[in-house]
Amino acid sequence: MQSKYSGSETLSVSELPNNIYRALTGDAGGMENRISAIPQEMEFLNVIGKRFVAAIDRFHVHRALLTTLQDLYTFSACCILLRGDPNELFIIPCQPLSHDFIEEMIRRITDAARAIDFPPMDIRQLTEMAYLDAPDEVAQFRTQEAIEATEVGSSINIPLIVNNRIIGILSLFDELIGTFDTELLKTTAIIADYAAIALETVRLRERENALWRQAELERQRLELILRSMTEALLITDENGVVSSLNQSARTLLSQVIGDVEIGVSLSTLAQINNTPWLFTLADIVHQALQGQTVKDQELIAGESGEKVPMTWWVSVAPLHDASGIKTRPIGTVVVLTDVTASKQVERLKDEFVSVVSHELRTPLTSIKGYTQHLIRRIERRVRKFREQTPPGSQPVELPESIDLRSLAIVQSQTEHLERLVDELLDRSRIQWGQLILQYEDFHLADLLASSVRSVQASTEQHTIHLDIQVQDTTVTADRARIEQVVGNLLDNAVKYSPHGGQIVVQLHKYLTNEFADSVDSDNSDHNYAYLVSISDYGIGISPEHLDHIFERFYRISNASTRQYSGVGLGLYITKAIVEAHGGRIWVASNGPTGGTTFFFTIPRVPSTLR
């Protein structure tokens, strides 16, 4: 049987059968009556519930509330004060209201709010924030004569409660005395509960919408930024699958591997195209998925035969879940920067420096040769003159001696220039992977001894000690290059200890496990390496520079170091030579004694010859 009330929006309490009315008003009646009224009572609550559930915004809630309350009473207005920042007051009139009546309502609401510990506010504030939400039929009816009542005859205030939290107050007002039947208070409170939940739902929905709009705006802004970025940007998911890429990335990638589709994994892309750089990129992304950030790694994306192949810098960062629930990265952000143009400029600069250095080397060699020739001739002449001078005669300063000193300066300056030119040529070689080593067997101890002798000959202020605790010091290496390494470090030790002092060169041999997978037995010669240290007690290097001094053209420039000549290539070349031999180089400050110690290692036999 279809209920009389199902789906109805026109239900009125006054139309309710007597027994339900009594049940709602708490009028006991008979037990039998109350039991028979339950289904209809539930039906009534169902209708109210539907009205509130259907409300999609706060104004719909107000209408549902007004309609339901009007089923119970005939009254002048209802008001809703909502707690918030700021509080909000809605006045919903059932009929046109006079100014005095409204003022009186607001005064009473202020008192009620104070009584239930609402954040403090006065009548003026509440009046200013009040919003008159008049239903159409009331809003149109604005003639002065219709507004008669100036005093409130009766009122009730019911707190609006959700989850034991007072979210506001519902207040009903009428011009007549005794309108709000205390017997209907229970029903009014139930309606207030419905209204409270509906208002809270609307508030949450509004907040959710606002957040969604904000998130959408943010998303659009981000998309715009990504689209207009000149850097190519690629986003991958947690499996290294490309989930999005900007226009710059599409353009850049299309130059080498054609169109890249979203949804393809980088390793699949690498396999399809079989290009080493894509395998490297997939590897870097894999590292980032383990939580590592990779910065500015060079990728050669062009043909290796080209003079300046297409070169990119790639930086990859792990993408973490904003909620922090997942500990593993949920993807990666890949930024590719095309540096081919700057590589081309660099190459041109290098070629220029290399050509000029070559051109300079030939005249320098002749200047050096002729200077040496002149020095030898003049020395012979001076020696002859001395031999012819009778013993005991007064020593005379020969003009040739002055010439000899001048020529010594020319020679040392030429050597300085020659070193500079060699450093520039080496730098080009290292840069373009053309540092070729000529291996030979020799005794490292002999090389160190001859280097120490030659540097010692150039300085009287310093004493260079050679401390070798090793019997057999045979090594397979590029002798000239190792000489260059030791020479550079010794020259620096002398140069950067301007007040002279000791310089200590030590040589140790150690068993290394770096080559553990080598086929040789544990104590084979092949498993040994040498450690050379060169300590000075000079100006030292402050900690912030320690990590950088091996970089190209890096020089410590401050008031105390400006006096030292150099271009900052020596340590760069030294490091490249040591590493080409499979060794390592590092530096440490000497602590309280001051000065610096450089260490480098060199395997007894290079891994390529093992």
Judged by CB under 6 A, which stretch of 215-223, 502-510, 511-519, 566-574 contacts ligand ADP? 566-574
DSSP code for 310: -
Considering the rule CB under 6 A, would residue 493 count as an interface residue with ligand ADP?
yes
Query: Can you tell me the distance from the alpha carbon of 220 to that of 230, in angstroms, rounded to the nearest whole number?
Result: 18
Judged by CB under 6 A, which stretch of 91-99, 394-402, 451-459, 537-545 contacts ligand ADP? 537-545
Q: Which is nearer to ligand ADP, 501 or 566 (CB)?
A: 566
**DSSP letters spanning 82-113:** E-SSS-EEEEEESS---HHHHHHHHHHHHHHH
Judged by CB under 6 A, which stretch of 12-20, 309-317, 510-518, 538-546 contacts ligand ADP? 538-546
Considering the rule CB under 6 A, would residue 568 count as an interface residue with ligand ADP?
yes
Considering the rule CB under 6 A, would residue 537 count as an interface residue with ligand ADP?
no
Give the residue at shortest CB distance from ligand ADP: 566
Instruction: Let me know: does 8 contact 40? Beta carbons within 8 Å.
Output: no
Contacts of residue 491, Cβ cutoff 8 Å, sequence gap at least 6 = 455, 570
Considering the rule CB under 6 A, would residue 549 count as an interface residue with ligand ADP?
yes
Among 168, 538, 583, 606, binds ligand ADP (CB under 6 A): 538
* Count of residues that bind ligand ADP according to CB under 6 A: 21
How many residues belong to the chain?
Answer: 610
Query: Can you tell me the distance from the alpha carbon of 325 to that of 312, in angstroms, rounded to the nearest whole number?
Result: 34
Considering the rule CB under 6 A, would residue 248 count as an interface residue with ligand ADP?
no
CA 328 to chain centre: 16
Local structure of 255: helix, strand or coil: helix
Query: Can you tell me the distance from the alpha carbon of 217 to that of 231, in angstroms, rounded to the nearest whole number?
Result: 23
Judged by CB under 6 A, which stretch of 54-62, 166-174, 395-403, 532-540 contacts ligand ADP? 532-540
Considering the rule CB under 6 A, would residue 329 count as an interface residue with ligand ADP?
no
Among 360, 566, 579, 610, binds ligand ADP (CB under 6 A): 566
Among 506, 536, 603, 605, binds ligand ADP (CB under 6 A): 536
Q: Which is nearest to 91 in space by CA: 127, 132, 57, 126?
A: 132
Among 19, 414, 451, 492, binds ligand ADP (CB under 6 A): 492
Using only the alpha carbons of the chain, give its radius of gyration: 46
Judged by CB under 6 A, which stretch of 255-263, 317-325, 472-480, 535-543 contacts ligand ADP? 535-543
Query: Can you tell me the distance from the alpha carbon of 322 to that of 319, in angstroms, rounded to the nearest whole number?
Result: 9
Query: Can you tell me the distance from the alpha carbon of 158 to that of 191, in angstroms, rounded to the nearest whole number?
Result: 10
CA 250 to chain centre: 24
Q: Which two tokens stand for residue 587?
A: 């530096």
Considering the rule CB under 6 A, would residue 588 count as an interface residue with ligand ADP?
no
Considering the rule CB under 6 A, would residue 485 count as an interface residue with ligand ADP?
no
Considering the rule CB under 6 A, would residue 430 count as an interface residue with ligand ADP?
no
Considering the rule CB under 6 A, would residue 500 count as an interface residue with ligand ADP?
no
Catalog residues that contact ligand ADP under the rule CB under 6 A: 492-493, 496, 536, 538-541, 549, 554-556, 561, 566-572, 596
